[in-house]
Structure 1
Amino acid sequence: MREDDPPSDDDTRSLLSSHVDAHPTDRPEPFPLQTPVQRASDPTEFDLEIEEELAYSAAHVTSVLKPVSITMFLVVLIVKATSEQLGGSVVQSPYLVYREVDTDDTGTRAMKALVNALVIVGGVLCFTVAFFFLYKHRCTRILYGWLGFSVGSLLGFSGGALSYTLLVKAFNSGNAWFPAVDMYSFVFIQFNFAVMGVAVVFWRSPLLAKQVYLVIASCIMAWVLSRFFPEWTMWALLWGLACYDIFAVLAPC
């Protein structure tokens, strides 16, 4: 056969067989068959993803429940400690539309509490809308100033009232180990505490310090609600805020 002639069928088959025999390891091995029991016992990628999601969810819930439980425990202690000092009286907030009177019947109290809660929740809604438009128009300085002033006021003024009440109770209890604090030192310490709280919450800080300040702020806010809001209005406000949070989270807008 000349070199110019095309290869015949026998030549082609011989070339293919020699190529296959030269590379015997290139042949794919058959996939081993598994029984249904073996397939069920082997963890799949989907199962691993589900386990990771469950572990993450459990860790997230635990990280939320721990500070919430600490806050609830501290609030109970604070309310119990200050109720004796304040005589159990409630100074009704000036933000209330109606004031609860002991002579009111159940229906009147419920109606007053509902109106008070709706007014406060409406105010929260207005502030939320204002926050949204400020954020939409990139007014971050106004937002940070507003939030910083709110947190500073809560820690400074409301926290100062709570600290003063606890100091008076500790001083009147006759504890010899408790040092006396003058008014100037108290104002200086409270001012630094509030400024440090604003810096910790809105600036770079250790996670533990931020959690401590947030727990303290939550305790102060809960004490303010129990101190300046009557019982029916407080419960109605809690239910109203809970419903508002559900609406704000689940609403598509």
Structure 2
Amino acid sequence: MVPPVLLAMVLSSLFTMYINTPEYSSNASAGLAGAYQVYSTTDDGDTSNAELLGKGLLNALVIVCAIAAMTFVMVACFYFNCNKFLTCYLLLSCFVLYGVMGAQVWGVAIDKYALNVDAITYVGVCVNFACLGIVSMFVNSPDITPPSFSQFYAVVAAVLLSWQLSHFESWTGWALLVMLGAYDLCAVLTPCGPLKALVNLMQAKERRGENGDLPGLLYEAKVP
């Protein structure tokens, strides 16, 4: 059996290479730059690589800081038992991830390979795919969502996010990749990391006999 992490990496590379068009790539890159980047890192020939690298690092730093802030907000919500808010937020996030991003990927594939798909089928498949993704993340019953089913949708989530992030400008994309890796390590391993704090809160609630489970994508496995 192929490890899920390896499968996600291979599929992410294949999707990025073969499910893309120059028109969509250009539009997506411009959209991401306008929404998330502080500085443009397009090589116009007059900007040095060092300057482009610096701008890319600053763009990545802003994005990672925003992610860190959102994570701390989620930790605060869990600390104050705002589980209904967290559940609604994660339900919406899952639907956007699987429904909207999945629809974008499928739309590009239809456009590139001239697939014969009508609008009703397109919308129906996207909605059902998103609903099944939500079920895979929020229903913790082996009879309904076996581990292979949940792993499949976890791999799909990684592929969709990787495909979307691949449309960042090159300097920003590579800088973001490095900074996200560093942030993940800090968030999990350092005492002040938000994910470390989340695990500590979960364990503390379980020791008090309270429900320490986290909804949806926030945390999936039980902490020993």
| Counterpart in the other structure of 2:149 | 209
- Tell me, yes or no, if structure 1 residue 241 matches structure 2 residue 180: yes
**Percent identity (aligned):** 32
Q: Distance in 1 between matches of 2:41 and 2:98?
A: 28
Give the aligned residue type for 1:113. G
**Maintained 8 Å contact 2:42/2:169:** no
**Maintained 8 Å contact 1:155/1:193:** yes
Q: Distance in 2 between matches of 1:87 and 1:132?
A: 36
Unaligned segments of structure 2, at least 5 residues: 193-224
Shift of 1:86: 4.3
- Tell me, yes or no, if structure 1 residue 197 matches structure 2 residue 133: yes
Q: Distance in 2 between matches of 1:101 and 1:142?
A: 39
Give the aligned residue type for 2:52. R
Q: Which runs of 4+ in 1 moved over 2 A?
A: 82-90
- Tell me, yes or no, if structure 1 residue 186 matches structure 2 residue 122: yes
Shift of 1:250: 1.7
3-state SS of 2:29 partner: coil
Shift of 1:101: 2.2
TM-score (norm 2): 0.76
Shift of 1:199: 1.2
Q: Distance in 2 between matches of 1:163 and 1:85?
A: 16
3-state SS of 1:181 partner: coil
**Maintained 8 Å contact 1:156/1:190:** yes
Q: Distance in 2 between matches of 1:156 and 1:95?
A: 21
| Counterpart in the other structure of 2:17 | 80
Q: Distance in 2 between matches of 1:77 and 1:250?
A: 32
Q: Distance in 1 between matches of 2:11 and 2:148?
A: 17
Q: Distance in 2 between matches of 1:106 and 1:133?
A: 40
3-state SS of 2:117 partner: coil
Shift of 1:184: 2.2
Q: Which of 213, 216, 220 lines up with 2:160 in the alignment?
A: 220
**Maintained 8 Å contact 2:20/2:112:** no
Give the aligned residue type for 1:91. S
| Aligned CA distance change for structure 1 residues 210 and 121 (closer, same or farther; 3 Å) | same
Question: Which protein shows a greater Rg?
Answer: 1
| Aligned CA distance change for structure 1 residues 109 and 165 (closer, same or farther; 3 Å) | same
TM-score (norm 1): 0.67
Q: What's the Cα RMSD here?
A: 1.8
Total equivalences in the alignment = 182
Deviations 1:118-160 (A, max 9, x none): 1001101111110111000111111111111111101111110
Shift of 1:170: 2.4
